[in-house]
A and B are shown apart, each in its own frame.
Chain A
């Protein structure tokens, strides 16, 4: 089964610090890598996404770094705030039709930002 491995499982960061979550994938056909944020009892919300033609994408305090050769990508949250406390999921898909557009999710990272 195609997998996306996410780490760490949980992360505690102080307010103002940098939160870093890492993901690694196996399938070289993956060409779309989104990150989702989920609060308890809510559906996941798209945070930011990247395709392999760029190595980094930044939107506000959120940055994705992508390393195609290592088959790894990571989410950096700068100036972390208590309101960022949530579960974060990385995902990947082939994006080329058929069954390849299904998202394969990591297991999630529970982020806690202490005030």
Chain B
């Protein structure tokens, strides 16, 4: 149980385009989902927290107009990187919790390369 999927697993795009990443909880309903970014050989950096049906809460320094998060249902959250640039290239990972304060289960990650 507690499986989280992400799609796509990797994506290459041209600078200036937008990319959407999906995060799904497959066998539980996730009231809270989290989006992280991870650079090589570094720890996970929380970007934002999203609760179903409400606006996402962004961490300090994360541009909310660049990283659009939508949590439309209890099993789906999406992260859209708008007008992507090479510096946005990174490993993006989502996690989901059945309830706030409970264990976070992570997806397999999405590697984004912006050319």
Give bound CA distance, A105 to B43, whole Å.
7
Q: Give the number of chain B interface residues (Cβ < 8 Å).
A: 26
Are A96 and B101 in contact, CB atoms less than 8 angstroms apart? yes
Are A106 and B101 in contact, CB atoms less than 8 angstroms apart? no
| A–B complex contacts, Cβ < 8 Å, 8 sampled | A43-B106, A46-B106, A89-B43, A94-B101, A95-B101, A101-B101, A101-B102, A102-B49
Give bound CA distance, A76 to B81, whole Å.
39
Which residues of A lie under 8 Å from residue B102 when comparing CB positions? Answer: 95, 101
Give bound CA distance, A75 to B109, whole Å.
24
Binds B, one of A34-42, A55-63, A77-85: A34-42
Tell me if B's interface is mostly helix, strand, loop or mixed: strand
Q: Give the number of chain A interface residues (Cβ < 8 Å).
A: 26
**A115: Cβ under 8 A from any B Cβ:** no
Give bound CA distance, A107 to B34, whole Å.
18
Beyond A34-B104, A42-B108, A96-B101, 16 additional pairs, beta carbon < 8 A:
A42-B109, A43-B4, A43-B95, A44-B93, A45-B106, A46-B103, A94-B101, A95-B102, A101-B97, A101-B101, A101-B102, A102-B49, A105-B43, A105-B44, A107-B42, A108-B43
